[in-house]
Amino acid sequence: MSRSLSRKLTLAFLLVGLTITLLVAVFVRLTTPAQLGRLIVDQRRTQFLTTLVTYYEANGSWQGVGQEVGQEGGPGSPAPIFGLADSQGRVVIPLMPRFPAGSTAPADALAQGEAVKVNGKVVGTILSPPHPPGLTPDETAYLQRTDLALLLASGGALLIALILGALLARNLTRPLRALTRAAHQMAGGKLDQEVRVQSRDEIGELAAAFNQMSRAVARANTARRQMTADVAHELRTPLTVIAGYIESMREGVLAPTPERLSVIYQEIEHLQRLVGDLRTLSQADANNLKLNKELVSPQALLQQIHRAFEHQAVQKGVSLVVSPDAGPPSITVDEDRMAQVLDNLVSNALRYTPAGGRIELAATSQNGQVLLTVHDSGPGISPEDLPFIFDRLYRGDKSRSQETGESGLGLAIAKALVEAHGGRIDVESTPGNGTTFLIHLPTR
């Protein structure tokens, strides 16, 4: 396909060059003889007029002018192409066959002729032929040389158009061929493809966009594979525990005590949470997440979260506080979904904040938006983990994640829910100085 495009572009350049060359050649060929004829006639008329004026000044009349001048160039020149009538309209230099010598020129011929003036007085009129005279052999040879030069120039122009068209077509199609090869490689499963960006024009922008798309697809594919492996791992652990207990009970090795049934039930709840989280994320990815938005006071939302986690914070010896109302405007959100976001953030903060620590919830106005913050005095997040904190199933502290039974989807869900509301969520953290999650939400 790319080679066909190259041929098409080359032929297009050649066709444009051929069309322009033909138009120029035809225009020049049609106009040059007429222009040359008019130029010759004008030159001869001017020469003839000068000769007549000189003759009249020397003789004072037109007597003998026919034998003396003979034609416009003087004695010995080719046959005349102009005639002459005196001031009374009598033809003194004939222009055969229309104006013989001694005849009287008609008024219309005199009106179309050129007056001969001597000392400001009209002493005669130059009579012009009805049609331009034919070209002399020298003039015809000149036109033939002009046609040959035009033909050579046209051939050179077509050759240059063909060469330039081939070069330009090659330069245009080379990056397209590279893009085609890379696209075929991606279709064959090799997703991490990159083509060289050789220009800053539209094709260069296309190549840069393709490289960006290729990197994004490769990252998404890697993330998908990693998520599949992580989900399989998350499902395997509780299923192994459940299967082990049930098999032992079925074979009579273990008795179905309330404690053992409670362990099985906890693992089932873990599976249910994981499935529910995955369903929420899939709905967010498909833009199918239903939001029941209503006008909500940010401060009232934080107070609701405070009441939900106050007892747990007291048990851990952590101070959970809500900053005084800074007067932020109400926000239009799905209250349950936004409470889910804050639940995830406060749960994480309680999980990693040691006894004696502090968790602070705040709502403020910033740049026409409402900013909700959850700050804890925990150990913070390491710089190498911070860029991936919102990735699905990413957990910086693997051991503590397994102990607490978290799925690793909480922050990914929080990000998806915030973005579904048209906002964004950021994190700031320094090891040893705690962590702050910032939720930016539009007021409407």
In a domain, 381, yes or no: yes
Has residue 144 been placed in a domain? no
User: If we measure between CA atoms, which residue out of 358, 362, 350 comes closest to residue 303?
Assistant: 362
Domain boundary among the residues 285, 304, 320 is at 285
Assess contact for 369 and 329: CB atoms under 8 A.
no
Helix (H) or strand (E) run with residue 421 in it: none
Q: Which of 127, 147, 181 is the last residue of a domain?
A: 127
Given CA atoms 35, 41, 45, 51 in this order, what sign does their dihedral have? positive
8 Å CB contact between 114 and 105? no
CATH number at residue 207: 1.10.287.130
Residue 167 located in a structural domain:
no
Q: Please tell me whether residues 411 and 316 are part of one structural domain.
A: yes
Helices then strands (H, E): number in the chain?
A: 10, 11
Only one residue has tokens 């330039």, namely 164
pLDDT of residue 379: 92
pTM: predicted TM-score of the whole model, two decimal places: 0.53
Q: Which of 294, 257, 323, 324 is nearest to 444 (CA)?
A: 294
| Segment 112-117 long-range contacts (CB within 8 Å, at least 24 positions apart) | 113/85, 114/45, 114/49, 116/49, 116/52, 116/53, 116/56, 116/84, 117/53
Q: 114, 125 in Cβ contact below 8 A?
A: yes
**Does 429 lie in the same domain as 301?**
yes
- 136: burial class by Cβ within 10 Å (0-12, 13-18, 19+)? exposed
CA 166 to chain centre: 25
348 plus 383 within the same structural domain: yes
At 80 the pLDDT is 59
Q: Is 11 exposed, middle or buried (0-12, 13-18, 19+ CB in 10 A)?
A: middle
Check if the beta carbon of residue 432 is closer than 8 Å to that of residue 267. no
**Nearest Cα to Cα of residue 381 among 411, 403, 342, 409:** 411
* Confidence (pLDDT) at 133: 63
- What is the spatial distance between Cα 326 and Cα 233, in angstroms, rounded to a whole number? 45
Token digits of residue 252 = 């009579």
Do 281 and 372 lie in one domain? The reply is no
pLDDT at 356: 94
Contact yes or no for 198/204 (Cβ under 8 A): yes
Do both 349 and 267 map to the same domain? no
Distances (CA, A) of 355 to 102, 182, 314, 359: 137, 56, 9, 11
- How confident is the model at residue 94, as a pLDDT? 86
Beta bridge partners of 298: none
Number of domain units in the chain: 3
- Domain boundary, last residue among 250, 285, 320: 285
318 lies in the same domain as 435: yes
In a domain, 151, yes or no: no
Dihedral, CA atoms, 341, 346, 352, 357, nearest 10 degrees?
Answer: 160
Cα Rg of the chain, angstroms: 50
Helical pair 202-250 and 137-187, crossing angle rounded to 10 deg = 10
Within-domain flag for 114: yes
Per-residue pLDDT of the chain in tens (444 residues, 90 and over written 9): 445 666 777 777 777 777 877 777 777 767 667 777 777 778 888 888 888 888 888 888 888 887 777 544 444 444 557 888 898 889 888 887 788 888 888 888 888 888 989 888 998 998 888 776 666 677 678 777 877 887 888 788 778 877 877 777 777 777 877 888 888 888 887 777 888 877 777 878 888 888 888 888 887 787 777 777 777 877 888 899 899 999 999 998 889 899 989 999 988 988 888 888 888 888 887 788 888 999 999 999 999 999 999 999 999 999 999 998 767 889 999 999 999 999 999 999 999 999 999 999 999 988 889 999 999 999 999 888 888 888 877 655 544 444 444 556 888 889 999 999 999 999 999 888 899 999 999 987
Q: How many CB atoms lie within 10 A of CB 293?
A: 14
Same domain, 311 and 434: yes
CA 181 to CA 187: how far, in whole Å?
A: 10
Q: Are residues 320 and 262 in the same domain?
A: no
Question: Residue 197's pLDDT is what?
Answer: 77
The pLDDT of residue 156: 82
Q: Which domain holds residue 299?
A: 293-442
Q: Environment class of residue 361 by beta-carbon count within 10 Å: exposed (0-12), middle (13-18) or buried (19+)?
A: buried
Q: What is the CATH number of the domain that holds 426?
A: 3.30.565.10
